Amino acid sequence: MFVTGEKIMKCEELNIKRELKDKLLNEGFTDLTLIQEKCIPEIIQGKDIVGQAETGSGKTLGFCLPILNAIAPGKGLQVLVITPTRELCVQVTDVFVDFGKKLGAKATSVYGGVGIEPQIHHIRTSDIVVGTPGRILDHMRRRTIDFRDVRFLVLDETDKMFEMGFIDDIEEIIRQVPRNRQTLMFSATISDDYRIMKRHLNNPLIIKTQSYVDHSKLKQVYYDIYEQNNKFSILVHLLKTNTEGLSIVFCGTRHESDAVARNLKNQGLRVSAIHGGMRQQKRSNSLDELKNNETKVLVATDVAARGLDIKNVTHIFNYDVPKTSIEYVHRIGRTARAGAKGSAITLLTKRDHENFRRVQSNRDLLIEREEVPDFQRIQFLRRSSYEPEERSFRSGGRGQGRGQGQGGREQGRQQSPQRNRHPFRSHSSSARRN
C-alpha cells in the first residue's frame, strides 16, 4: 500500500478506548497524521505492519495508541520496542507512560551507559519495555527479562539500526520473542529486501506515505564559501542574525560538534551539544535544556536528525554537508513542521562539493544559492592546540580582502574568480536568468 494525499480522519473517529481519546483531545490533537490514519486501524485489526514516513510524521503515536488499546496492564511484559539510540528510547517510553497512565500501563527504558540494577527492578513490574539492542541483550544474558508473554514487537527506526550495525543483535533478540506476536516495523526509508521483514513478519502490510519537502514552508539556501576558515565566522553571523526559534547545527563528526559548540559558547550564544560519544548524563542534560528553552542552538551529529522530537526548530544549518540526499532530507525535516515556516542553510566549502553534488542529485530539492554576507572574522580554537585557525579582521561578502595585511590580499586574489563560478544546480532567480 502506497499512501498519498491529505489526512482526513479525526482523532475522535478512532476505535480506541475512551481514556486514550480523552488524552488526545486534552493534548490538543484533533486530526491524525497520514501515517497514523493508515496504520492505527490496521494494527488494531492485528496485522503486521511496515510503516514508512518521514521524520516528524507521528510514527511513535501511530503504534503507541493501538498497542495501549490492546494490552492488559499488570499481566506481565507484553510489549518490546527496540530503538537505535538512547534518546529515542527515552522519548518512546515517555509517550507510553504519558498516554498509558490512565489505563494503569507501566513502561520502562533499558539502555547502556547507566546502571543496570534499577532497570532490572523496573522490568519486573512493566507491561512495556523500550530498549536499545545492546542493553536488551545484556538483560537476556543475565536472564533479567522474560519475553514469554510478549504480544507486540516494535522495531523503531529500523533503517537506522541497520546503518549502526545492529542487525545481528536484532536477529538474536527476535528469536527469543514468541512467534505468535504482532510485529511492527517503522522507518524513514524502506528497502524491499530487508532480511528482518522477510524472516520475521507475517504477510506484512507495507504503508508508505509520500516523502516530500514543502517548498512553500521551507526555504533552502546554500552559501558557497571559498575558504574553510571562513565557515565558522559566517555561521556565527547567521546565528546572531536569525534570533527567532531554535537552530540546529549539524556536524559530520563528534570532534567537530564539540569544537563548534565550544566556540559558539565563546561567542555568547546559548548552546547545547549532543552526539553518540557523550556520556548519557550529558546527553540527557542537553535534551533537558532544549525542553526547558534554555538553549537557542543545538550542535549535533546526525543522531539528532532521526526520531527525536525537537520542537520549535526554525533554522537548520548544515555546517558539514551530509553524504546523501536522504540524510539531507532527514536533517531538514526537523523544521517547517505543522504548518510553520523554516529555513535550511548549507555552508559549502571546497571539501563539501562532492557531497553537495550527491545531495543535489535529488531533483525535488530546490536549494537556492545566496551571496555570502559581510561578516566579522573571529577566532576558532581547537582544544588540542588552542591555536587560532582564523585571524580576526573585517571581511566582505566572499571573505575578500577588505582586511589588513597579507591574509586579506591573498584571500582577495584567490577568490576573485568565484564571482562567475557556479558549479552547482541553483534555483535562484539570477541563476535562471543566466
Q: What's the pLDDT tens digit per position in 285-294?
A: 887 887 788 8
pLDDT of 118 over the 70 cut: yes
- How do residues 325-355 score in pLDDT, each as one tens digit? 888 888 887 787 666 789 999 999 999 999 9
Q: Exposure of 347 by Cβ count < 10 A (0-12 exposed, 13-18 middle, 19+ buried)?
A: buried
The domain 218-433 is classified under which CATH number: 3.40.50.300, 3.40.250.10, 3.30.465.10, 3.30.930.10?
3.40.50.300
Q: What is the pLDDT of residue 178?
A: 97
Flag whether pLDDT at 160 surpasses 80: yes
Each domain of the chain, given as residue ranges in start order, spans 2-209, 218-433
Dig out the grid coordinates for 90 from the structure: 527515552
Residue 415 C-alpha cell reads as 577568490
pLDDT of residue 121 exceeding 80: yes
Specify the residue for cell string 549502526: 164
Contact 166, 133 (CB under 8 A): yes
Do the Cβ atoms of 157 and 194 come closer than 8 Å?
A: no
pLDDT by residue (tens digit) across 223-262?
999 888 899 999 999 999 877 789 999 999 989 999 999 9
* pLDDT for residue 210: 62
Tell me the range of 267-271, 408-412, 425-429 where mean pLDDT is highest.
Answer: 267-271
Architecture of domain 2-209: 3-Layer(aba) Sandwich (3.40)
At 209, the pLDDT band (50, 70, 90 cuts) reads confident
- Do the beta carbons of residue 63 and residue 128 sit within 8 Å? no
62-71, 115-124, 135-144, 407-416: lowest mean pLDDT where? 407-416
54/175: higher pLDDT: 175
Judging by DSSP bridges, how do beta strands 182-187 and 49-52 pair with one another?
A: parallel
**pLDDT for the residue 8:** 61
Calculate what percentage of the chain has a pLDDT beyond 90: 52
- How does DSSP assign 356-390, residue by residue? HHHHHTSTT---EEEPPPPEE----B-TTT--BSS
Q: Please determine, for residue 403, whether its predicted confidence score (pLDDT) is greater than 70.
A: no
d(CA 364, CA 213): 8
The residues facing 10 across adjacent strands are 31
CA 31 to chain centre: 23
